[in-house]
Structure 1
């Protein structure tokens, strides 16, 4: 039986609990239930283990950037893209994944965003869960998880946290705020900004910063999310048959893009009652 750990928060959990602005109609709490409460069920575990094409593209694109900077000479070689593709074992992927990742690698090879940057952290994208940050306050405590793609130092000594995207991913400011909160603990005393960069489209976001007042509000927001989720897990542990009441579904045409539609009792793959949202890809 499921045993909830101490409360935790992350951008991923935040996005599962509360939708991004404009995505409210398609947000489904049952998806959180499958991912966070029933992740050890054999059927759910099997579905979670299957990376979709967009997920594969995001992971390989991030790893490609990592390989370019881990083997910096490849940025200056004519066959650098082919060499990185070999390191990624890209030939083992589907044609769709290969073609899109190759375009991303070529774009980055032509215009390497991080060239000459003082990089202090650059992850390959498949490193798993980061070490939790303990957030302690007189009114609450929780563990914060924040896996950052890249951290580098600007010429004015500002810490810059960069998150890579692929596909048609929306830039969700909440993710940047979580990173900026984490930076206060990981790099104390350093001024920090955060931004997003779409490797596929070559699109940059504006720089995002946070002041002390916003930081305080953010901690309360994440604490509420952490404790709400923990309460939901405890309710589910007490009575697993109440799954759909604890994690209520929101069926519609968007079910066709849900990884759990094959095992969900509420899936409506052919419902035509609502227009479809644009399909987003979050690496």
Structure 2
């Protein structure tokens, strides 16, 4: 008999289980169900494979930073942006994606945030799942996934974990906290800080820190998130017909931006229909 898989958690899963502050109104658990419980179904798998323009821009922008620092001479060459654009094969993308990425590359070449930093990790953004960190305590055990964009060492030997952003989305402090917890295990004994940097508007966040007591509380909260999700997956495996009870929907105007609106029976917006009528639910 096979051993059941240990519960797992990541910032992405945490954000699917619990909304960020101020986003409770349009948070939908059914989205988590599609992404985490039904991801192998052909229709769901096809939708998950379709990156949106904002997603493509984010991935390409991060890869552009990686290419600049992999070929440092491009940061000072007049055709450096063009060379990075060629390495990213930007000509294969839509005009909107291409233009926004070009603008991001131009801004980064003009003000390269990481130039001169003691970088110990810089990822291209398309490397897939990182190796999980096994966290074991007396009363819980789970796998933590934390894909960090960049880690460098400050002059005072502090580890600085940097996450790149694009677009207009607000920074979610929870993502930085997950990285700081991961750093506790990946770089034991090292002092660490985390921050965000929006490559499109050249905006830095405040430095985010966490003490040992807060780390312990965070770890316990993530264990609860991991266990709740694991239990939901087990319930779905036992009775898939209970999908909407296990992962309850929250239909509304936000359905327009959900990648699953074309296959979700609860969606108030279906792009395949010329007229999308709001669903009336019994109170």
The TM-score range, normalised by the shorter chain, is over 0.9
> 1:125 is paired with a residue of what secondary structure?
coil
Match of 2:240 in 1: 240
Shift of 1:6: 1.6
Give per-residue Cα distances to partners, 1:164-222, cap 9 Å, x unaligned: 00001210000000000000111111100000000001110000001011000001100
Structure 2 residue aligned with 1:126: 126
Secondary structure at 2:112 match in 1: coil
Show the counterpart of 1:209: 209
TM-score (norm 2): 0.94
Which consecutive residues of structure 1, in runs of 5 or more, have no partner in the other structure? 274-283
The match for 1:193 is 193
In the other structure, the counterpart of 1:177 is 177
Matched, 1:88 2:83: no
2:222 aligned counterpart, secondary structure:
helix
Tell me the equivalent position of 1:278. none
Question: What corresponds to 2:272 in structure 1?
Answer: none
User: TM-score, normalised on structure 1?
Assistant: 0.94
Q: Which residue is equivalent to 1:257?
A: 257
Measure how far apart 1:4 and its partner are: 7.0
Count of paired positions: 271
Separation of aligned partners in 2, 1:39 and 1:107: 37
2:268 and 2:278 in contact (8 A); partners too: no
- Give the alignment of 1:103-182 within 5 angstroms: 103-182=103-182
Aligned 8 A contact 1:196 1:204 in 2: yes
Aligned to 1:65: 65
Give the distance between the partners of 2:170 and 2:20, measured in 1 at CA.
9
Per-residue deviation, 1:252 = 0.3
Q: How far is 1:108 from its partner? A: 0.1
| 1:53/1:97 contact within 8 Å kept | yes
Does the Cα contact within 8 Å between 1:7 and 1:226 map onto a contact in 2? Answer: yes
Superposed displacement of residue 5, structure 1? 2.9
Whole-Å Cα distance in 2 between the matches of residues 247 and 271 of structure 1? 22
Instruction: Map Cα deviations across residues 214-270 of structure 1 (whole Å, 9 max, x no partner).
Output: 000001100000000000000000000000000000000100100000000000025
Residues 4 and 234, structure 1, Cα contact 8 Å, conserved in 2: no
By relative contact order (CA 8 Å, sep 6+), the higher-ranking structure is 1
